[in-house]
Amino acid sequence: MVQLGFESCMILGLDIGGANTKAASSDGSFTDMVYLPLWKNAQLGEVLGRFADLSPEAVAAVMTGELADCFSDKSAGIQSITATVIDTFSCPIYFWGINGFQWKDPLELAAANWSASAALLGREVGDCIFADMGSTTTDLIPIKGGPLAAKTDYQRLGRGELVYMGLLRTSIGALLSAARIRGDTVPLSPEFFAITADAYLTLGDLSPENYACDTPDGASKSREASLRRLARAVCADLEEIGEAGAIAIAEQVRDHQFRVVVNAIERQAERHKLSRVVAAGIGEQVISGAARFLGMEITLLSEKYGQRISDIFPAYAVARLLEASSIV
Amino acid sequence: MVQLGFESCMILGLDIGGANTKAASSDGSFTDMVYLPLWKNAQLGEVLGRFADLSPEAVAAVMTGELADCFSDKSAGIQSITATVIDTFSCPIYFWGINGFQWKDPLELAAANWSASAALLGREVGDCIFADMGSTTTDLIPIKGGPLAAKTDYQRLGRGELVYMGLLRTSIGALLSAARIRGDTVPLSPEFFAITADAYLTLGDLSPENYACDTPDGASKSREASLRRLARAVCADLEEIGEAGAIAIAEQVRDHQFRVVVNAIERQAERHKLSRVVAAGIGEQVISGAARFLGMEITLLSEKYGQRISDIFPAYAVARLLEASSIV
């Protein structure tokens, strides 16, 4: 790789998700995350244009956004996203698929972001469960002499390597079937009334600035507004169940999500005889708590690479993989 | 009541829900249902204006739409909805609350539509479980010498008198935790990818014309599009799980919803020692099947009052209650 000064030698990694687009340079000096809900026809090209202004030497990209339901199927999503990236950058662009930068079928690009993270960690950390909890989903990738996860989201769901549940955007009505409030067991509405971010915010585990997605009702990210959304999930005004009732719901959401993560890690640990967890993503602390609960060895990605990089790890990983490859 | 010819003697009943607004005349000659999602800021006044053109002598109204999350709380929702009704009609208007047309606190109007239905049925049918399955929710109202249900949605949820699940709009990811496909157990995504209407449509239980709500992805109401949405619920393209896989999901949604209805009816029957079910709403056949499964006596509202009236029963009931009252 020819070094031509900072701007021109930058390798930029991109992770284009359905809800967030993340970017990082291979040296880790630049990282960014933009909330960009593709299913609401967000302007991907506009955001990528800002990254193009950094004049990277090369771009390495992974995606998961092809599943967004604005696309009729994954192929249509991959075609649209790759076309937008290619139109925006004038430098060479390399897309990482589940089998690496070399691929034949564009479908190999579908949901391959975990694969880039796992490939880098396999080299730098060795055997472990790589557990990355994001806003929307949690990846649990067994790495034993290389990543062992299945190739598609569908297969990973079935094997528990993809747990469709995250720190921010998950509807609590889909996570928790019922809440116990003042001795009553009250089923939750399946409507999109409140999300995990509301639970963590009211419990003081999440700041309003880190509530990095839209609120379900379009109201504010204040504690009061989150309490109202939690109450609405049991068809109640906040006055009806009181702040204690809404906080009980939040506690039960946190507790349930924790137990789901514990069970999911345990399943992979038993299946692959792995005793170490590398925790990543904005839900790193949840992963780490669950691994500690199971008595497993823990590496925090935020300690190894710094918090900024942990938060957008697939973007960083794919940039590093391109840098280390013989391609550029 | 002074009879002044058809138009001027009409008593119009309204049932203003969060997703649908329904209308009926007390003689049953006029019925209508309009998909009007209040949380998307649908124009309630505009639709009501069309009903005002019928020049009713009086309007009787019930609501559930105050829970829509465009309103900060139920009081705000009730105030907004009542103001819109009052602004639109020039005739006398009577709102039915959980204790009848006489009420002191506007909060008595919250979610009182089941109460109007149950009050009429208590008079005309006698002791029974009134089970009304709509697009979004299912009401199970024990009637024994009058309606016995709790007064608020929150309390009814806890007592199983409100099951927040309907024939059309319920996200299948909130209903079913996992689907069995080709021997694998695959968790469903909690995203709003597919709804119960997609399941019933692909199974031939629902026609595209009766798919009376928006599709989750904005695509068409064709069988093919519904199959794609069902596949997306397990993060798959239709090609990945095949039509058989998508139909398996639909079958399991139908089966699970049926069992939830069975259990819900059984709970009320045991608690109140009731042996008869009056089935209503667009999901009348699901209710009726569940009651038959439990060996209970069944009355179909559609047979007693006709299908049109069964579909919009609370609107009809509140019109009848006003007609029978000493008010007009």
CA distance A191 to chain B (A): 8
- Residues A142, A143, A144, CA angle at the centre, nearest 5°? 115
Tell me if A154 and B216 make a contact (CB, 8 A cut-off): no
Rounded to whole angstroms, the Cα distance separating B297 from A229 reads 40
Q: Which two tokens stand for residue A274?
A: 């792995």
- Which candidate from A39, A154, A184 shows the least CB-CB separation from B186? A154
pLDDT given for residue B8 in this prediction: 52
Nearest partner of B216 among B183, B169, B285, B257, judged by Cα: B169
**For residue B68, which residues of chain A lie inside 8 Å, CB to CB?**
none
- Which candidate from B153, B191, B241 shows the least CB-CB separation from A154? B241
Q: Does B1 touch chain A (CB under 8 A)?
A: no
Sheet holding A31-35, edge to edge: A31-35, A20-25, A11-16, A58-63, A93-95
Reported as type and span, the H/E element at residue A229 is helix A223-232
Tell me if A186 and B240 make a contact (CB, 8 A cut-off): no
**For residue A188, which residues of chain B lie inside 8 Å, CB to CB?**
164
10-residue mean pLDDT series, chain B (328 residues):
52 94 96 90 90 96 91 93 96 95 94 93 95 94 94 94 97 96 96 97 97 95 98 95 98 98 98 97 94 97 92 94 88
Indicate left, alpha or beta for A214 from its phi (over 0: left) and psi (-120 to 50: alpha): beta
**For residue B185, which residues of chain A lie inside 8 Å, CB to CB?**
158
- Asked if B168 and B216 touch (Cβ cutoff 8 Å), the reply is no
How many residues can be counted in chain A?
328
Q: Is A322 helix (H, G, I), strand (E, B) or coil?
A: helix
Q: Is B282 helix (H, G, I), strand (E, B) or coil?
A: coil
Tell me if B174 and A171 make a contact (CB, 8 A cut-off): yes
pLDDT digits 0-9 by tens, A206-243: 999 999 999 999 999 999 999 999 999 999 999 999 99
pLDDT less than 70: residues of chain A: 1-8
pLDDT given for residue A69 in this prediction: 84
Per the listing, tokens 């001795």 go with A183
Task: State how far Cα B2 lies from the chain centre.
Answer: 33
- Which candidate from B75, B187, B237 shows the least CB-CB separation from A73? B237
Nearest partner of A19 among A286, A293, A235, A213, judged by Cα: A213
Q: Number of helices (H) and strands (E), helices first, in chain A?
A: 13, 12
Testing the interface with A: which of B237, B238, B249 to mutate, by most A Cβ within 10 A? B237
Tell me if B193 and A69 make a contact (CB, 8 A cut-off): yes
Helix spans in chain B (H):
6-9, 44-52, 74-88, 113-124, 153-159, 172-175, 196-202, 223-232, 238-272, 284-293, 301-305, 307-311, 313-324
CA distance B109 to chain A (A): 14
CA distance A19 to chain B (A): 12
Nearest partner of A105 among B19, B208, B315, B237, judged by Cα: B237
- Asked if B315 and B31 touch (Cβ cutoff 8 Å), the reply is yes
The upper half-sphere exposure of residue B5, i.e. CA atoms within 13 Å in the direction of its Cβ, equals 4
Rounded to whole angstroms, the Cα distance separating A288 from B190 reads 24
Q: Does B187 touch chain A (CB under 8 A)?
A: yes
**For residue A236, which residues of chain B lie inside 8 Å, CB to CB?**
152-154
CA-to-CA separations, A127 to A118, A122, A251, B33, in angstroms, rounded: 10, 7, 34, 60
- Which candidate from B158, B175, B232 shows the least CB-CB separation from A184? B158
- Which candidate from B67, B158, B185 shows the least CB-CB separation from A185? B158
Tell me if A73 and B239 make a contact (CB, 8 A cut-off): yes
Q: Does B153 touch chain A (CB under 8 A)?
A: yes
Rounded to whole angstroms, the Cα distance separating B109 from A66 reads 45
**For residue A111, which residues of chain B lie inside 8 Å, CB to CB?**
235
Rounded to whole angstroms, the Cα distance separating A83 from A61 reads 12
pLDDT given for residue A8 in this prediction: 52
Rounded to whole angstroms, the Cα distance separating B80 from B48 reads 14
Strands A184-187 and A178-181: antiparallel
pLDDT digits 0-9 by tens, B219-247: 999 999 999 999 999 999 999 999 999 99
The residues facing B276 across adjacent strands are: B297
Q: Does B260 touch chain A (CB under 8 A)?
A: no
Phi then psi dihedrals of residue B264, to 5 deg = -70, -40
Testing the interface with B: which of A71, A113, A154, A234 to mutate, by most B Cβ within 10 A? A154
Phi then psi dihedrals of residue B88, to 5 deg = -90, -35
Rounded to whole angstroms, the Cα distance separating B292 from B290 reads 5
